[in-house]
Amino acid sequence: MQRILLPFIGLMLSSLTASAQLRILSGTPIGSPSVDYSSGSVSTTVNQPADAFDNDYSTFYASYNRSYTWVGLDLGTKHVIKRIMYSPRKGWGNRMVLGIFEGANQPDFSDAIPIHIIKKAPTEGVMSTTPVNCSRGFRYVRYVGPEDARCNVSELRFYGTEGEGDDSQLYQLTNLPVVVIHTQDAKQVTSRSTYVDGWISVISEDGRGFFTDTLQIRGRGNGSWEVSNNLAYGGTIWHKRPYRLKLAHKARMLDMPAKDKNWVLINNLGDKTLIRNLVAFEASRRFDMKYTPAGRLVDVILNGEYQGNYQLCDKIEVGTNRVEITKMTNTDNRSPEVTGGYLIEIDAYANSEPVHFTSTYGNPINVKYPKHDDITTSQLNYLRNAFNNMETKLYASYYTNPTTGYASVLDVDAFLKNFLIGEFSGNTDTYWSTYMSKDRGTNEKFTCCAVWDFDLAFENDGRTYPINGNSNYMSLSNKSSAAGNMKSFVGRVVNSQTERIKELYNYARNYRGFTPEVMEAYVDSLAKVINQSQELNFMRWPILNIRVQQNFQALGSYQAEVDFMKKYIRERFAWLDNKIGYEPMIDGIHNAMTQMAGSILSGEGQIQLVGFTAGCRYQIFTLDGKLLMQNEVTPGTCDIDVRPGFYIVKVSGSQGQKRQQKLLVK
Ligand code: CA
């Protein structure tokens, strides 16, 4: 009997103990300066922090400042908070919407993390109650009012138990990770050039993952920065700013591949789906771009205020798991050292950057690496000459010659893949801003190394709508924008690579899941995972009914925006299929040519072409579409020695018949 009873009694005792310890927590009221509404000045007598803890609904705390203002308690010792109760100033319940409760152990709240966000207006004259699911103990707790609300809290209660607690369970605002940043003295981040010191905490994995560091933060971006400073509506300027983060220590943020100090928070203010960049990145992966920027959807809190949904993302820079090219020092001034690596951005805004030049054919080049304070004159001269040399070859009469024309200095496949991703997404900005790298080595070519910036893509720009209404490629049409003379540059490459474009496109369509079904399913999966966060985001920034940036419509709901993008994707595949000449594969056999005699087989260390007639030619490609070898097929049996691996084998007949197969050679 005792064996059964003892655990039962133990359970009763522990639950009694717990409830006995859960009590209203008392402490010293703390908060930012109060306002006297009658005079509009700072007050030390009315609307004080203590007024939020006096059991009187008619008195309230109100702050003098309109931003980053708060009221709370110094509990004296650490407590694990289990429950919060709150009530708004009478008549002003809406001012507490998106207010955030935080706990901290530093008196300046630099280490504060959220424990609750208010998602709907609380009823006045009663206490609203919420449980708190955060196991860390805090000495300091506070309520931070949303921007421009002056807090306006009539009553606050914190319930909990004394103790250190632990980090086994922290709080996320939604299912997405939350990035929490506090700046020194809650200084606002309003500059793109001056960093502000601060602290970052990231809570992920449903509250079980925690990362923290010190950092520097500043603004970033061009178009996205401007729109975040000029979106005025309803008497308010809506500063959903894009940020650059520089951690004190290298880290793999949210398990992204690069271990690095430099990250960016993309605001996606003009993109009401909030996911256009990530959908384009998925296309980049399906085209097997060597590098695709990593990005994660997150909620962001800055100095206790909810800032909305952002994309935490790689900064495009030279580094492991980013643009992987040879790093340079300022002593690398002779060949071969001086030949690379370089990272440039063909950039319409290049002339506002510290190191830039204009190429022979009028393209503005922003030199990103080596960095402006590291690059030497010899390096800059080499880079400028190399780029100009590429243009010379591109504009020469022999430009299509594979050994002397542009293909000898430009990575054609990477250029065409970048082009196709731009065309698929219908990105106005593909050649407004184009990243290229040039690695070390006299034979190393300029390479499109990273796709970037798709907030105006996927039919989100009135200047290019309707994208599918053009007969020509978007990048070559007169509707799209381009830095300098890039449109001419692109035209000469693209118009001389019709066959290769077709091969790369068909390869992605047939072998890499680059299909309407897969891409639409990807959109749906992102829309599902972002759902809670987009609701909060559009409470914070109620723009679903107004046009932002280059929007030519406002569809009024998040789902309508997503559905519109999916419709565009479906129609764009149809347009591209027709334009490029999509040839679907059926069971690995080219459907246009099923009558062609012969078989493509794999042998040990060999590809065997059996039963083809005279006059056929074969081409063997790697899985990423690189042509390895080509020759005439020996009629009867033709054995081709290759190393083990996967290959794409194409055989074409003298009448234009084709057969294509993917196979594994052991
Ligand atoms: Ca009160």
Compute the average pLDDT of residues 293-307.
Answer: 98
**Cα–ligand 1 centroid distance for 91 (angstroms):** 14
- What is the per-residue pLDDT for 481? 86
| pLDDT value at residue 429 | 87
**DSSP states of 152-184:** -EEEEEEEEEES-B-SSS---SSSS-EEEEEEG
Residues in the chain, overall count: 666
Burial of 589 (0-12, 13-18, 19+ CB in 10 A): middle
Backbone φ, ψ for residue 407 (5° rounding): -65, -15
Distance from the alpha carbon of residue 76 to the mean position of ligand 1, in angstroms: 22
> How far apart are the CA of 47 and the centre of ligand 1, in A?
9
Q: What distance in angstroms lies between residue 87's CA and the mean position of ligand 1's atoms?
A: 9
Predicted TM-score of the model (pTM): 0.86
Location of each CATH 2.60.40.3580 domain in the chain: 599-665
How far is ligand 1, taken at its centre, from the CA of residue 351, in Å? 57
Q: Are 212 and 170 in contact (CB under 8 A)?
A: no
Lowest mean pLDDT among 9-18, 226-235, 415-424: 9-18
In this prediction, residues 207-217 reach a mean pLDDT of 98
The 10s digit of each residue's pLDDT in 610-656 is: 878 888 999 999 887 889 999 999 888 899 999 988 888 988 887 77
CATH classification (class only), 599-665: mainly beta
Rounded to the nearest angstrom, the distance between the alpha carbon of 153 and the centre of ligand 1 is 8
- Distance (angstroms) between ligand 1 centre and the Cα of 151 equals 13
**Ligand 1 centroid, distance to 247 Cα (angstroms):** 41
CA 158 to ligand 1 centroid distance, Å = 14
Instruction: Give the residue carrying structure tokens 């007639």.
Output: 613
Contact yes or no for 433/365 (Cβ under 8 A): no
Please list, in sequence order, all residues whose beta carbon lies within 8 angstroms of the beta carbon of residue 458, skipping any fewer than 6 positions away. Answer: 273, 276, 279, 280, 425, 426, 565, 568, 569
Distance (angstroms) between ligand 1 centre and the Cα of 104 equals: 23
Distance 46 CA to ligand 1 centre (A): 11
DSSP annotation of 570 reads: H
CA–centroid distance, 35 to ligand 1, in Å, is: 15
User: What is the pLDDT, as a whole number, of residue 553?
Assistant: 97
Looking at residue 595, what is its pLDDT? 58
Cα 70 to middle of ligand 1, angstroms: 15
Are the CB atoms for 423 and 475 separated by under 8 Å?
yes
194 Cα to the center of ligand 1, angstroms: 41
* 489 Cα: distance to centroid of ligand 1 (angstroms): 68
Tell me the pLDDT tens digit for each residue of 9-42: 444 444 444 554 689 999 999 999 999 999 999 9
Give me ligand 1 centre to Cα 132, in Å: 22
H or E stretch including 585?
strand 585-586
Q: How far is the CA of 315 from the centre of ligand 1 (A)?
A: 47
| Cα-to-centroid distance, 128 and ligand 1 (Å) | 14
Question: Is residue 69 pLDDT above 70, yes or no?
Answer: yes
Average pLDDT over residues 142-148: 96
CA of 155 relative to ligand 1 center, distance in Å: 5
The model's pLDDT over 468-521, given as tens digits with 9 standing for 90+, comes to 989 999 999 988 889 999 999 999 999 999 999 999 999 999 999 999 999 999
Q: Which range, of 351-365, 432-446, 609-623, averages the lowest pLDDT?
A: 609-623
Of 1.20.1260.10, 2.60.120.260, 1.10.10.10, 3.10.150.10, which CATH number belongs to 10-171? 2.60.120.260
Q: Are the C-beta atoms of 536 and 309 separated by less than 8 Å?
A: yes
3-state DSSP: the chain helix, strand, coil percent, rounded to 5?
25, 30, 40
pLDDT given for residue 6 in this prediction: 42
CB-CB contact of 659 with 596 (8 Å): yes
- Ligand 1 midpoint to CA 56 (Å): 4
Arithmetic mean of pLDDT, 599-611: 85
CA of 264 to the centre of ligand 1 (A): 41
CA of 173 to the centre of ligand 1 (A): 27
In the chain, which residues fall in CATH 2.60.120.260? Answer: 10-171
Q: How many other CB atoms are there within 10 angstroms of residue 540's CB atom?
A: 21
Identity of residue 469: G
For residue 552, give both structure tokens. Answer: 């030519």
Distance from residue 89's CA to the centre of ligand 1 (Å): 8
Mapped onto helix, strand or coil, the DSSP state of residue 131 is strand
As a whole number, the mean pLDDT across the chain is: 93
- Label residue 168 exposed, middle or buried (CB < 10 Å: 0-12, 13-18, 19+): exposed
How far is it, in rounded angstroms, from Cα 572 to Cα 426?
Answer: 8
Instruction: Tell how far the Cα of 143 is from the centroid of ligand 1, in angstroms.
Output: 14
pLDDT at position 594: 46
CA 58 to centroid of ligand 1, rounded, Å = 6
- Residue 391: the pLDDT is 98
What is the average per-residue pLDDT within 91-111? Answer: 97
Kindly tell me if the per-residue pLDDT of 586 is higher than 70.
no
Strand 178-183 to 295-302 pairing: parallel
For ligand 1, an ion, list residues with CB under 5 A: 51, 54, 56, 59, 154-155
Is residue 289 very low, low, confident or very high in pLDDT (cuts 50, 70, 90)? very high
* The two structure tokens encoding residue 323: 């643009």
Alpha carbons 86 and 154: distance in angstroms, whole number? 8
Taking the centre of ligand 1 as the mean of its atom positions, its distance from the CA of residue 30, in whole angstroms, is: 14
339-343, 569-573, 655-659: least confident range: 655-659
CA of 129 to the centre of ligand 1 (A): 16
Q: What is the pLDDT averaged over residues 428-448?
A: 96
The per-residue b/e assignment along 478-493, b for 16 or more CB within 10 angstroms, e otherwise, is ebbbbbbbbbbbbebb
**Quick one: pLDDT at residue 661?**
81
The answer to whether 381 and 417 are in contact (CB under 8 A) is no
Name which of 178, 180, 96 is nearest 144 in CA terms. Answer: 96
Residue 88 CA, ligand 1 centroid: distance in Å: 9
Separation of 130 CA from ligand 1 center, angstroms?
19
